[in-house]
Structure 1
Amino acid sequence: MLKTAFQRYIDNFKGFSREIWILTIITFINRAGTMVLPFLSKYLKEDLGFSYSQVGWIMVCFGVGSMLGSWLGGKLSDKIGFYKIMIFSLLTSGLMFFVIQYITSFIGLCISMFAIMTVADMYRPAMFVSIGAYAKPENRTRALTLVRLAINLGFAAGPALGGLIIMNIGYNGLFWADGITCIVAILIFWIKVKEKKKSAFTDKEHPGEILTHSVFKDKPFWLFLFTCLISGILFFQMFTTIPLYHKEQFNLTEFQTGLLLTMNGILVFFCEMPIVSYVERKKINKVKVVAFGCVLMAVSMFLLLINTWVGILTIMMLFMTFAEMFAFPFSNSVALSRAPKGHEGRYMAIYTMSFSLAHILSAKVGMEIIEYFKKDGYQMNWFFMGSIGLVGSLCGYWVYKLIQKEHKLQ
């Protein structure tokens, strides 16, 4: 029985091209090095002594840079190709991480966070387009999931290592680790993967699911992005308000916070691919799965209203982890499937921008609610986040109905 289950798990990883595996490896190296992000709000608040509002504004600059980077990355991927964008983004952002640790003023950090995220997040839409070029259409959702597994496994290693680095070396060590891993990852990609101008899979036999020719007229896509935005706002609480809450409400150390995030990454590594394969096998509608993920995220936020028992943090993390496994791999796939050929970069840029906007809103709204309500700030924040999660899931169900109607008209 155990052998059969293991064999079935291994079978989920078959059928990928060499380039997809290399992309997965460099994504893992890059994400394992992303140690600054989970501790950024703590670094700004506790190490540099900024107020909640100032931390919120720095995170806004972080998010605005991320939005601009996503848009530029997508547009330039369609114009000059994803390959050049990926190399420029990781190499330059790696070097920028070395410099940013020496900037400690509020204005300086606002400008430098904006600049580094503009460059760093050009990578994301370019990477999504590269999956479209190097993976067969029937393998795309699994290929996206494989890369997400690498991201999550990297995130599993990153926060725990990051917590140890902070406790032993200090926050400066994180910036060095981040920069070095960016540069190592992209050098591997540059040496091992050759540039590909066009996908071999864009011939007449595999035309893709072309539903609309203008992204701005694609109503279901924009409503779907609203659900993605809400999911992102809730998910990013894990890197903005929740690490601070761990410390202030339950007195957890950076290492303990890192371990909770590590549990999230390990669970995703073992469970996400089987979930994706099951949904693909049973042909379950992907938009419905994303809406269900949004419901679970709302539940995870409401669970934090129980603030007298430390064990609730583990239960909340379990709900958030499964929510993430339902929401994110399929949202990637839905967004890519709606893009007409030659416009993948544009669609994936707008899709990734919705998560950048989520980062801005997640940090700023969360921090402002906590500051405004003072004593009950965290409680009000969890209630607000849970409520908008329910709105996002209803919107997702509406998108499902619209797409069903679309298919009937074709």
Structure 2
Amino acid sequence: MLSRLTHLLRYDGYFSPMAWVLAALLFINRLSSMVKLFMALYLRQELGLAIETVGWLLSAYGAGLLIGSMAGGLLSDHVPTARLTAALFFLSVWTLIALGLVTQVPLLAGLLLFSGTLDGAIRTLHQRLIMEYCQPAQRARAQSLSRVARNLGMAVAGVAGGVLAQTDFRWVFFVSAAMTALALLWFVRSTWHRPVLIADPVPENAAGPGVPYRDKPFLWLLAAAVLLGIAFDTVYSTLGNYLREYYHLSTEAIGWQFGLNALLVVLLQIPLSHWGERWGLRRQLIAGSVLLACGLGMLPFGSGLFYACLSTVIWTLGEAFFMPPMNVLVMQHAQAGKSGQYFGLFFMSWSASALLSPVLGGQLYGHFGGHSVWLVSAALALLAIPLMYRATRSA
């Protein structure tokens, strides 16, 4: 097992060199994700805002993700992807610094909206970069490696963010800005003058008719992504405050939950994706949804650090199962036509969860208590299963 995993991680073996470059970019950039992980706690504890207000502010970030996801996809059809990505990283640096200095609610809402727009566009453009710089046979593997890099960065960010927040919440923003600047320098050095190797090939067996609005399996996938995204995003919008108020965990212990999630993905994602090449997309998606529902739905029925960790392990396995197959499906459809529109629509649908989940979670939390959030999230994850079945009928 260990020797097999070592072979998969060889620079010149299972993954292409450009896949490693893009994964390194994500790792550096994801160190700045500590802002997202601890934003709810910052707004609630440091600024003393009501839980409903926190939900509305986080939904502003979600609205930005929604806008940026589609805008990034559309712009990538007309502007060189590398140039556009570098510009967005540059703007992100200054936005993170501003978030650490501003305390007025209206200004925070505007900054969170803009920050979400930048993050949504960068996320969409990363998929476009994989399309442009990796051979078709390597793209699914590049997805897996990018997820490992992303979660490894988040593991470090979760632990470091917990320590920084314990000292001063504003250090979370300033250190995140520094990491984003480092990611910008790495990206410019690695890809700025690199020619595009693959420019949107159209294979004969590509899925879909080439226009996303007439691609029925793709539309079912979008619907499933919205439900799964709403269920999953409660981890970021609600879990921190819930574990603090119901489980009485410290900010460092909460940070370790996010770190545990990321470390498990780092350890398990590549083997699971490699085996999944034989399992089929549908079974991975369904298994992931069930595990996500179980992991989140069990939270109201226990207490203590061990039980919280067990929940994290279960919903993390669900995430590791359903995330890569969804991106692979989008790539299969995008190869048939306008890649920017396919990527933009998918990430816009996924980002809708970051808009809807904080509001829904905040209202449920405020009116019915924290337990209700996880029961509803589990139900949404299960409701996504029949939609995934329809989305994968042709696959």
| TM-score (structure 1 length as normaliser) | 0.91
Could you tell me which residue of structure 2 aligns to residue 143 of structure 1? 142
Could you tell me which residue of structure 1 aligns to residue 372 of structure 2? 380
Q: Which amino acid is the alignment partner of residue 247 of structure 2?
A: F
Q: Deviations over 1:74-105 (max 9, x none)?
A: 11111112111210111111121112212111
Q: Deviations over 1:122-170 (max 9, x none)?
A: 11111101101111111211101101111000011001100101112x1
Cα contact 2:200–2:339 (8 A) shared by 1: no
Cα distance in structure 1, aligned partners of 2:199 and 2:206: 13
Structure 1 residues 149, 208: CA separation in 2 closer, same or farther (over 3 Å shift)?
farther
Cα contact 1:16–1:135 (8 A) shared by 2: no
Q: CA RMSD in A?
A: 1.7
Q: Deviations over 1:186-240 (max 9, x none)?
A: 1111112245564437567x55614212110111111112222222222211111
Cα distance in structure 2, aligned partners of 1:340 and 1:23: 20
Could you tell me which residue of structure 2 aligns to residue 408 of structure 1? none
Structure 1 residues 200, 397: CA separation in 2 closer, same or farther (over 3 Å shift)?
closer
Could you tell me which residue of structure 2 aligns to residue 63 of structure 1? 62
Displacement of 1:295: 1.4
Aligned pairs for 1:319-330 (under 5 A) are 319-330=314-325
Match of 1:189 among 174, 187, 190: 187
1:19 aligns with 2:15: no
Of stretches 338-347 and 290-299 in structure 1, the one that deviates more from structure 2 is: 338-347
Aligned pairs for 1:3-402 (under 5 A) are 5-13=1-9, 14-168=13-167, 170-195=168-193, 198-200=196-198, 206=203, 209-280=206-277, 282=278, 284-341=279-336, 343-373=338-368, 377-401=369-393
Cα distance in structure 2, aligned partners of 1:119 and 1:202: 24
Q: Deviations over 1:341-360 (max 9, x none)?
A: 56212111111112211111
Cα contact 1:19–1:193 (8 A) shared by 2: no
Cα distance in structure 2, aligned partners of 1:310 and 1:256: 8
Cα contact 1:133–1:196 (8 A) shared by 2: no
Structure 1 segments unaligned to the other structure (5+ residues): 405-410
Helix, strand or coil at the partner of 1:33: helix
Cα contact 2:365–2:372 (8 A) shared by 1: yes
Helix, strand or coil at the partner of 2:210: coil
Helix, strand or coil at the partner of 2:78: helix
Question: Identical aligned pairs, as a percentage?
Answer: 24
Displacement of 1:305: 2.1
Q: Which amino acid is the alignment partner of residue 266 of structure 1?
A: L
Structure 2 segments unaligned to the other structure (5+ residues): none
Displacement of 1:12: 2.0
Cα distance in structure 1, aligned partners of 2:234 and 2:338: 32
Cα distance in structure 2, aligned partners of 1:337 and 1:253: 43
Q: Deviations over 1:255-277 (max 9, x none)?
A: 10111111111111111100100
Helix, strand or coil at the partner of 2:101: coil
Cα distance in structure 1, aligned partners of 2:252 and 2:304: 19
Helix, strand or coil at the partner of 1:79: coil
Q: Which amino acid is the alignment partner of residue 148 of structure 1?
A: R
Q: Which amino acid is the alignment partner of residue 64 of structure 1?
A: A
Cα contact 2:44–2:51 (8 A) shared by 1: yes
Cα distance in structure 1, aligned partners of 2:319 and 2:246: 25
Helix, strand or coil at the partner of 1:49: coil
Q: Number of paired residues?
A: 392
